[in-house]
Chain A
């Protein structure tokens, strides 16, 4: 909670302005300039890094402190989760009830004994009457608090009688009594029941009292001086108004012994006409709760001195003493205020700051019980520890972040990418390239262009020689690894080779690891087979081999266990497969592949299964470079690569150059020239103008 310095309203922690009046609220914490940790107000050094929170030169001197803005009017204690003691709850409730009705402060109102109804109509309470009764034995000196005894000393000789039993002392009075209670061996006061805050108040005023000490010995030097100045203070002409008037007093049986010497005056509403003696101004109760309550002067029986426990109740004489000549009271001249007391004297024109009222905890309703944290209001007057203006880099980052956050979401530019090719330039360029390619391909069909001579392919010639060496009726395993997508090229590669094998009376056993392979094989075989009735005797299409490399490996070891794809008959029932059970029974392996992986798979698995079987290949021009090392290493006995290799092989078959191959080769050459020309033109355009863009 933060209390408004203007109206005192409690505001939520962290609030900057008062919810009630809008006044700015003081900061309740200090941020360390070194580590940035938040420290409670009043810290001079950081709890985390011990750096100084407030520059030494900025700590205002004591003279400037009154000029600082008013500190917050309350320091809230943390709420006590434990159950409040019953007597405190009742005291608070009654204090709240009594406070608006009477001018009396709160805490004397709380002095009411629990359960005892107030007795406002009686001028003198019963128990006070008992106190006033002459039969009441004088309080022994041992029962008088030392600080009271010191004040009492000049006129109150100690009485040796034993103190009455203290078992009836209520807890709330024990706390008051304890500070002055000497260590009596008999029935010590039950300190365990004293609240902590009262124990703290008790401590400073509880010096160890010697046994029957002389009154003079307990008087401090400064009091001795005062006492010398006022050796014999006569009692005032009139008794001051007993402030405890109207306050219910506990029954006499519960009155502590030391209080029995105190006389509670009857309730008189008049102001005391006589000034209290200067001795009363000595704040010997500095440790007592200095709440806003007006502590009533306590009359000690046998003495006329008035003890004031409230520093705020500084009598007027102290305010006016320096200004005018001190009046005499029965020949008693007020003494001058000692030098050390002058700072306590209220100044003219300076309003006394009102102590904050506690609003939480069991001290709620009391005022001035806890000191305001030192330096709580320091941030109000101190120089800002951090630079007021942010650094430019931080500002730039903040602006960048703000800009990014305020920017609308960017959708993927898929539509723009799709729209880009639809630009007229792109469409025109693509159309021109397509037209040029088509013209280059179609032109040889219309006009015979003797631009290219007969191709050469040594590898195809080597393959032709290898096939020529095959004996008749040799089983040849053909790995058909291409489909319709590559058939325009691969049919021109595989066609001459298949026809050559058929001419050599070879038995063709076709398998494929591609699903479309068997169908593509069947189409080409049917076109090259002169007599379709001989198919079952010359061709066995064993179909698709699932499992990639593992399937190939399995098929190479179990060719006889497969099924013919077209007829559905087991391979073992085919005449063509009568003596073929595995790769060991095959005279040659032909690999027709359009993809490099297919060629490698077959070559590798054949090398494992039967490295001695001759292997030849008909491959696409795409994998010619990859196939060449196998040819150089001797793993391939021959190879037909691309349309050129097919054309050479076709020519080796003595079928001559057909019109189809002439057209294909010429069109391919023209298309290659067109592509080369387009590449050069595009590169020139890029070098001239495109790179500038």
Chain B
């Protein structure tokens, strides 16, 4: 019996345990759930430990400046104090460094990699015209949908009656259109999420069928 076969059988059994949730919460489903959570945590701890040790220990033993390894090592040790309320303050510097550096990197990337390119892509009339009438219509739809979706969250109205009527006639109409775009976007997002989930379900059912077929072959009840 190979490891692949053991894995296939174990996967089949665990899949059946999880699918037993169709009948409601039951101990079999709980067993599979606990196994999944425990295996995930254990695997994560192992991977993290090995990765850190593989990164830090060679650096400490090499001829390169050890300060590059010592600083992360010290910061990591200080971060362990966060687990003890009495000495958790010792980990504040490490936490601040992690949060600050992470936020700075994420913000820089979002600005350069998402915001600016997306604004440039949506607002480029040349792009729309280059693609002909279809591109122009698509661009108009994108523009109206973007503006309408933004105005859909405008809940304040002017106090003056005249401005209020003007507001309701323009912003209100665009907001309603934006709500339609939001509904369509949310519906599409739900559809894609459902499609992904059904794909996973199909794959699990396929794996169960293959596993049962392998088991039948193993015990000689099937020719494969």
Contacts and interface: CB of A to CB of B under 8 A. Distances in A.
Contacts of A621: 192, 195-196, 199
The SS class assigned to the B binding surface is helix
A605 interface: yes
A192 to B, nearest CB: 69
B48 to A, nearest CB: 7
A633 B195 contact: no
A404 interface: no
A516 B51 CA distance: 13
Interface in B206-224: 206-207, 209
Contacts of A327: none
B40 interface: yes
Contact of A547 (B22, B102, B188, B189): B102
B26 to A, nearest CB: 11
A437 interface: yes
Contacts of A433: 22
A516 B24 CA distance: 29
Given A568-B54, A667-B205, A642 B48 contact: no
Interface string B84-108: 0000000000000010011001101
Interface string B37-67: 0001001100110011011001000000000
A607 B113 contact: yes
Contact of B205 (A438, A492, A519): A438
B48 A550 contact: no
Contacts of A632: 121
B195 A608 contact: no
A546 B199 contact: no
B215 to A, nearest CB: 17
B110 A642 contact: no
Nearest to B116: A607
A316 interface: no
A516 B47 CA distance: 8
Contacts of A605: 105, 109, 113
B198 interface: yes
Interface residues of B, number: 49
A77 interface: no
B54 A606 contact: no
A58 B117 CA distance: 88
A500 interface: no
A488 B58 contact: no
Given A441-B201, A441-B205, A634 B24 contact: no
A52 interface: no
Contacts of A193: none
Contact of B47 (A426, A515, A672): A515
Interface string A418-439: 1001100011001101100110
B153 to A, nearest CB: 20
A421 B47 contact: no
Contacts of B120: 633
A634 B121 contact: yes
Nearest to B196: A622
A664 B105 contact: no
Contacts of B23: 427, 430-431
Interface in A537-573: 543-544, 546-550, 553, 562-563, 565, 568, 570
B157 interface: no
Contacts of B101: 550
A566 B40 CA distance: 19
Given A431-B22, A544-B51, A622-B193, A603 B113 contact: yes
Interface string A657-693: 0001001100110011001000000000000000000
B199 A664 contact: yes
Interface residues of A, number: 69
Nearest to A432: B22
A458 to B, nearest CB: 14
Contacts of B40: 516
A668 B195 contact: yes
Contacts of A549: 102, 105-106, 109
A634 B113 CA distance: 11
Nearest to B101: A550
Contacts of A543: 47, 51
Contacts of B102: 547-550
B47 A518 contact: yes
A283 interface: no
Nearest to B195: A621
Interface string B113-125: 1100110110000
A565 B201 CA distance: 31
A292 B110 CA distance: 99
A404 B223 CA distance: 73
Contacts of A487: 203
B201 A629 contact: no
A635 B202 contact: no
A335 B175 CA distance: 108
Contacts of A438: 205
A603 B113 CA distance: 6
A227 interface: no
B194 interface: yes
A489 B199 CA distance: 6
B204 interface: yes
Nearest to A437: B201
Contacts of B118: 629, 633
B195 A672 contact: yes
A629 B43 CA distance: 35
A430 B209 CA distance: 22
A565 B51 CA distance: 8
A667 B202 CA distance: 7
Contact of A544 (B19, B24, B47, B114): B47
Given A546-B51, A550-B105, A604-B114, A515 B44 contact: yes
Contact of B202 (A548, A601, A671): A671
B6 interface: no
B47 to A, nearest CB: 4
B129 interface: no
B195 A601 contact: no
Interface string B1-28: 0000000000000000001001111000
Given A544-B48, A605-B113, A633-B117, A570 B22 contact: no
Interface string A443-480: 00100000000000000000000000000000000000
A625 interface: yes
A620 interface: yes
A668 B44 contact: no
A649 to B, nearest CB: 15
Nearest to A663: B206
Contacts of B54: 563, 568
12 contacts: A430-B22, A441-B205, A492-B199, A546-B51, A570-B58, A603-B113, A622-B193, A664-B206, A667-B205, A668-B198, A668-B202, A672-B195
Given A550-B102, A668-B202, A675-B194, 9 more contacts: A441-B202, A487-B203, A492-B203, A604-B112, A607-B112, A607-B113, A608-B113, A668-B199, A672-B195
